[in-house]
Amino acid sequence: MIKVAQVILGGIYVLVILFYLGLIVPEYFACVGCDTEGAIGTSIWGDSVQCFGDSKVFGQVLFDLSTMIIVGLSTILYLLFLWRNLIAKNQDRAKNLSKK
């Protein structure tokens, strides 16, 4: 059951991280240094990004929210990995004790 949860969460994690690194991060960093009204930034993909008003605020909120989601999924996957390894060690230990 733990393996199934890891596979499902791992698949979701890969999709989220690709979306995050491919779209959200480049647009966010295109507008980091823009403080003037009407500024247009350019992402690493060459796309023009509006860096003023609601677009800038929405980009900041989207970046913060997606970062929290990725950190949360990373933590859950790490804990599942540790839990699975702990269970495997306990099963090995139980087998060794039963043989003696």
pLDDT (tens, 9 = 90+) of the chain, 100 residues, equals 778 888 898 899 999 999 999 989 998 888 887 777 778 888 888 888 888 877 778 888 999 999 999 999 999 989 988 988 888 888 878 777 777 6
User: Residue 100 to residues 60, 86, 87: CA-CA distances in angstroms?
Assistant: 60, 22, 20
- Locate 90 and state its tokens: 């306990």
The answer to whether the pTM exceeds 0.75 is: no
Domain ranges of the chain: 2-99
Side-chain-facing half-sphere of 17: CA atoms under 13 Å: 11
